[in-house]
C-alpha cells in the first residue's frame, strides 16, 4: 500500500527531528514500551525545535534541555529565556501521526490558560523542570521581554474559526496593558515545520542573484563585496524573510513610528534620489559568496553574486523601513528601483578556526564603535546650553549636558546630568503619556530635538531654579521609595513599588506645586516631606490593583498610558472602605 504524501512528510519530519535533538531528549520520566517512548521523544523534539526556530543560534542540546514535558507540565512542554534577544518562548507541542489533523479547541484553550498562569507568575502550578527557569522568567518580566507563545503541531494548516477567536481574545487580554504587543502567538503546522527543516541549517538564509552596482572587491583580511544595492531587492528580502534576516543584529527594528524610521520613510517616499546621501547603508555577514559567470572582469558598473547564510548586522532600521513601506503599499517596487543604498557583504567563513569570534567582533563594532545617538546631539541644543549656563550660576550646582563614561560625580548632590533632568522634568509634567514612555523607552525623548515630545520636556520655560528644585525633590522621593521596596513582604508588592516609582513620584510633584514654583533654590534640608504621600499612593494603588487588575503584569502595567492616568488619580477610583477591607 502506498503511503500518502502527509505520511511521507511525517516520516521525514520525525527522522530530521530525532537526528537533531533525539540524543539530547530526557526520557527519564517516561514509561511504557519502545513505541510509546518513541512518540514522546518525537513530541519533545518538536518542542525543542520550536525553541530552536526562534533562537536559531542556540545549540540543539540547550534547546532539548529546555523541554519540561511530563504528566505534571500544566500544558507547557518547553520554556526558554533568551536574555540577549530579550524574548521568552513558551511551547506546547502535539504530534499528529496522520499529518492531517487540526488543532483541538480544548487543547489549545488549555495551552492559552497555562500561558495566562505564567503571566500571573503562578509558578506553583508547574513542575520542577519548568521551575528551573523561574528566575530567568522573573528577570524577563522585570525587563519587559517579548513572549512567543508557540503551539507547534504536525497537522494541517487550516485554522478553525474557534481557534482564531481564541487567539484574538487571548491577545487582547494578554496585551491589554501594553502598547507594543509583547505577547504573540505563533502557530506552526506540518508544512511550516518541514519547510524550515528542509533548509541546510536552521535559520540559514541564502541570497541568490543579488545585483550590486558600482561594486568593489576586498580580499584581505576579510573577503568582501561593497557597492550599492537598490531598494527593491531589500524589500523583496524583507517580504521573504522578515526579521529573520536580522538574526545576528544587536537589535531589530525600532518600530515604524520611531522618529528614526519616520525620517527614513519620509526620504524614501518623498525624496528617493537623496536616500543614498542621507543613509549610512547596511552591512551583511555571509559564510561564502560566488560571483556570476556573467560578471565582466574589466567593468564593475554592475555585478551579480550569490551569498550563503546571510544576516544583516547593521542597518536594521533601513531594511525594516523599506520592507514595511513596500508591504504596506506606501511605495511600489518600481519606486524602490530608484532608491540606492550603500552595502557591504563581509565573508566570515565559520569553518575557519577563530572566525566565530571575528563574526561577533564585526557585529559588535558595527553597532557600537563611535556610535552617535540622539542623546549626544543634546549638547548642541541652544535650550540645553542656556539651561546649563544658568544652572552653573547657582553655585555649587553643575549641569552636565554631554554624555560621558565618568561616574565619579554620581554621588555628588550638586551634580546634575541629563538623566536626572529628564526624570525630574517628566515627573513634574504630570503627563501620563510621558511617564509611561519614560518607563518603557526613555530613548524616544532624544530621537529628535525638534519633536513635540522633546520640546514638551526641555524648552525655554524651564528655569534653572525649577530644574534644581525638581531634581532634589525627585531624589528625595527615590530614596524613600527604596525604603518602601525593601519593606515589601512579597514579590508582587515590591514590583508595584519598583515599577510604579515614576508615577508615585509624580504624585508627590502634583501635591507640591507651590514648592516647585519657588523663585529661589530651596536647600536640600528644607525640601517638603514625601513619606506620607508616597506611602498612601503605594497603599491605594496596591489595593486597587489587587481588586481589579490581578492578572496584570506590573512592568507592563506602568507602561500603559491609561493605567498611569488611573494611578495619578487613584483617589477617584478607590474608596477608603475598599482599602480597609483589603488591608483587613
Residue 197 DSSP SS3: helix
Bond from prior residue into 289 cis (ω within 30 degrees of 0): no
pLDDT of residue 259: 58
Query: Cα(356)–Cα(361) distance, rounded to whole angstroms?
Result: 9
Instruction: Note the pTM of the prediction, 2 decimals.
Output: 0.62
**Between 380 and 518, the higher pLDDT residue:** 518
pLDDT of residue 373: 62
pLDDT confidence band for 583 (50 / 70 / 90): very low
Q: CB neighbours of 40 closer than 8 A, spacing ≥ 6?
A: 27, 30, 69
pLDDT confidence band for 260 (50 / 70 / 90): low
Residue 218 DSSP SS3: strand
Query: Cα(418)–Cα(403) distance, rounded to whole angstroms?
Result: 8
Output DSSP code: residue 521: P
- By C-alpha distance, which of 225, 262, 212, 256 is closest to 238? 256
pLDDT of residue 253: 52
CATH class (in words) of the domain with range 5-197: alpha beta
pLDDT of residue 247: 66
pLDDT of residue 98: 85
pLDDT of residue 71: 83
Handedness of CA 465, 466, 471, 476 (dihedral sign): positive
Q: In whole numbers, what is the pLDDT of the chain averaged over residues?
A: 86
Compute φ and ψ for 445, nearest 5 degrees. Answer: -65, -25
Q: CB neighbours of 1 closer than 8 A, spacing ≥ 6?
A: none
User: Please, what is the Cα angle at 97 between 96 and 101, to 5 degrees?
Assistant: 45
Average pLDDT of span 398-403: 84
Residues in the chain: 584
Q: CB neighbours of 251 closer than 8 A, spacing ≥ 6?
A: 316, 367
Output DSSP code: residue 222: S
Q: Is pLDDT at 251 greater than 90 in this prediction?
A: no
Query: Cα(116)–Cα(111) distance, rounded to whole angstroms?
Result: 9
Query: Cα(40)–Cα(25) distance, rounded to whole angstroms?
Result: 9
Average pLDDT of span 23-47: 91
Q: CB neighbours of 331 closer than 8 A, spacing ≥ 6?
A: 268, 269, 325
Compute φ and ψ for 524, nearest 5 degrees. Answer: -55, -35
Query: Cα(31)–Cα(38) distance, rounded to whole angstroms?
Result: 11
Sketch the domain layout of the chain as residue ranges: 5-197, 207-353, 376-583
pLDDT of residue 584: 35
Query: Cα(163)–Cα(476) distance, rounded to whole angstroms?
Result: 51
pLDDT of residue 476: 96
- CB-CB contact of 274 with 267 (8 Å): yes
Average pLDDT of span 235-252: 75
Percent of the chain with pLDDT over 90: 51
Output DSSP code: residue 458: S
pLDDT of residue 221: 85
pLDDT digits (tens, 9 = 90+) for 362-397: 766 665 544 556 677 787 788 999 999 999 999 899
- Cα torsion 283, 289, 292, 295 to 10°: value is 50
Neighbouring CB atoms inside 10 A of 495's CB total 21
Sheet strands side by side (includes 311-314): 288-291, 302-308, 207-218, 224-230, 340-347, 282-286, 311-314
Residue 227 DSSP SS3: strand
pLDDT of residue 372: 56
pLDDT of residue 370: 46
Query: Cα(211)–Cα(85) distance, rounded to whole angstroms?
Result: 31
DSSP 130-189: HHTTHHHHHHHHHTT-EEEEEEEESS-SPPPHHHHHHHHHHHHHHTTT-SS--EEEEEE-
Average pLDDT of span 79-101: 91
Report long-range pairs for 299-304 (Cβ below 8 Å, ≥24 apart): 300/214, 300/215, 300/216, 300/227, 301/213, 301/214, 302/211, 302/212, 302/213, 302/214, 302/215, 303/211, 303/212, 303/215, 303/225, 303/227, 304/209, 304/210, 304/211, 304/212
pLDDT digits (tens, 9 = 90+) for 429-477: 999 999 999 998 888 888 778 889 999 999 999 999 999 999 999 999 9
DSSP 280-308: --EEEEESEEEE-TTS-SS--SEEEEEEE
pLDDT confidence band for 576 (50 / 70 / 90): very low
DSSP 92-125: EEE--TTS-----HHHHHHHHHHHHHHHTT-GGG
CA 370 to chain centre: 24
pLDDT digits (tens, 9 = 90+) for 479-514: 999 999 999 888 888 889 999 999 999 999 999 988
Percent of the chain with pLDDT over 70: 87
pLDDT digits (tens, 9 = 90+) for 269-315: 999 999 999 998 999 999 889 988 777 666 778 899 999 889 888 88
Residue 395 DSSP SS3: coil
pLDDT of residue 99: 84
- CB-CB contact of 554 with 502 (8 Å): no
pLDDT confidence band for 408 (50 / 70 / 90): very low
pLDDT digits (tens, 9 = 90+) for 126-174: 999 999 999 999 999 888 888 999 999 998 877 889 999 999 999 988 8
pLDDT confidence band for 574 (50 / 70 / 90): confident
Task: Record the cell numbers describing residue 554, joined without a space.
Answer: 506590573
Amino acid at each position: 500500500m502506498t503511503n500518502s504524501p502527509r505520511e511521507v512528510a511525517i516520516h521525514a519530519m520525525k527522522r530530521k527531528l530525532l537526528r537533531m535533538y533525539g540524543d539530547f531528549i530526557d526520557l527519564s520520566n517516561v514509561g511504557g514500551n519502545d513505541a510509546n517512548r518513541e512518540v514522546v521523544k518525537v513530541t519533545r523534539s518538536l518542542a525543542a525545535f520550536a525553541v530552536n526556530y526562534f533562537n536559531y543560534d542556540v545549540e540543539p542540546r540547550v534547546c532539548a534541555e529546555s523541554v519540561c514535558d511530563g504528566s505534571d507540565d500544566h500544558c507547557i512542554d518547553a520554556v526558554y529565556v533568551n536574555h540577549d534577544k530579550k524574548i521568552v518562548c513558551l511551547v506546547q507541542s502535539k504530534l499528529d501521526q496522520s499529518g492531517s489533523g487540526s488543532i483541538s479547541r480544548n487543547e489549545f484553550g488549555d495551552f492559552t490558560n497555562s500561558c495566562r498562569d505564567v503571566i500571573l507568575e503562578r509558578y506553583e502550578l508547574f513542575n520542577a523542570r519548568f521551575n528551573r527557569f523561574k528566575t530567568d522568567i522573573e528577570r524577563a518580566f522585570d525587563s519587559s521581554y517579548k513572549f512567543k507563545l508557540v503551539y507547534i503541531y504536525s497537522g494541517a494548516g487550516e485554522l478553525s474559526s474557534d481557534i482564531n477567536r481564541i487567539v484574538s481574545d487571548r491577545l487582547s487580554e494578554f496585551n491589554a496593558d501594553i502598547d507594543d504587543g509583547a505577547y504573540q502567538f505563533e502557530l506552526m503546522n506540518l508544512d511550516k515545520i518541514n519547510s524550515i527543516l528542509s533548509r541546510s541549517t536552521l535559520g540559514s538564509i541564502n541570497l541568490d542573484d543579488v545585483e550590486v552596482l558600482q561594486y568593489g572587491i576586498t580580499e584581505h583580511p576579510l573577503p568582501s563585496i561593497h557597492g550599492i544595492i537598490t531598494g527593491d531587492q531589500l524589500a523583496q528580502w524583507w517580504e521573504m524573510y522578515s526579521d529573520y534576516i536580522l538574526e545576528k543584529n544587536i537589535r531589530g527594528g525600532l518600530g515604524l513610528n520611531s522618529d528614526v524610521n519616520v525620517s527614513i520613510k519620509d526620504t524614501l517616499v518623498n525624496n528617493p534620489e537623496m536616500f543614498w546621501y542621507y543613509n549610512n547603508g547596511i552591512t551583511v555577514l555571509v559564510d561564502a559568496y560566488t560571483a556570476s559567470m556573467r560578471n565582466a572582469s574589466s567593468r564593475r558598473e554592475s555585478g551579480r553574486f550569490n551569498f550563503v547564510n546571510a544576516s544583516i548586522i547593521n542597518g536594521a532600521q533601513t531594511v525594516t523601513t523599506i520592507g514595511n513601506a513596500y508591504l504596506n503599499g506606501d511605495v511600489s517596487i518600481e519606486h524602490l528601483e530608484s532608491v540606492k543604498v550603500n552595502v557591504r557583504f563581509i565573508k566570515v567563513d565559520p569553518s575557519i578556526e577563530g572566525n566565530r569570534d571575528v563574526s561577533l567582533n564585526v557585529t559588535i563594532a558595527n553597532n557600537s564603535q563611535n556610535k552617535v545617538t540622539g542623546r549626544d546631539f543634546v549638547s548642541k541644543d541652544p535650550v540645553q546650553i542656556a539651561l546649563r549656563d544658568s544652572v552653573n550660576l547657582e553655585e555649587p550646582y553643575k549641569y552636565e549636558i554631554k554624555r560621558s563614561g565618568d561616574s565619579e560625580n554620581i554621588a555628588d548632590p550638586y551634580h546634575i546630568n541629563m538623566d536626572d533632568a529628564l526624570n525630574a522634568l517628566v515627573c513634574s509634567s504630570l503627563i501620563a503619556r510621558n511617564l509611561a514612555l519614560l518607563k518603557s523607552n526613555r530613548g524616544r525623548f532624544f530621537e529628535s530635538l525638534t519633536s513635540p515630545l522633546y520640546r514638551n520636556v526641555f524648552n525655554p520655560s524651564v528655569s534653572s531654579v525649577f530644574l534644581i528644585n525638581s531634581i532634589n525633590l525627585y531624589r528625595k522621593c527615590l530614596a524613600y521609595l527604596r525604603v518602601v521596596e525593601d519593606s515589601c513582604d512579597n514579590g508582587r508588592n515590591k514590583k508595584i513599588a519598583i515599577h510604579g516609582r515614576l508615577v508615585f513620584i509624580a504624585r508627590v510633584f502634583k501635591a507640591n506645586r507651590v514648592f516647585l514654583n519657588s523663585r529661589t533654590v530651596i536647600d536640600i534640608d528644607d525640601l517638603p516631606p514625601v513619606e506620607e504621600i508616597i506611602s498612601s499612593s503605594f497603599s491605594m494603588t496596591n489595593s486597587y490593583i489587587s481588586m481589579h487588575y490581578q492578572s496584570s503584569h506590573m512592568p507592563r502595567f506602568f507602561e500603559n498610558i491609561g493605567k498611569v492616568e488611573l494611578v495619578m488619580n487613584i483617589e477617584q477610583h478607590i474608596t477608603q472602605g475598599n482599602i480597609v477591607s483589603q488591608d483587613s
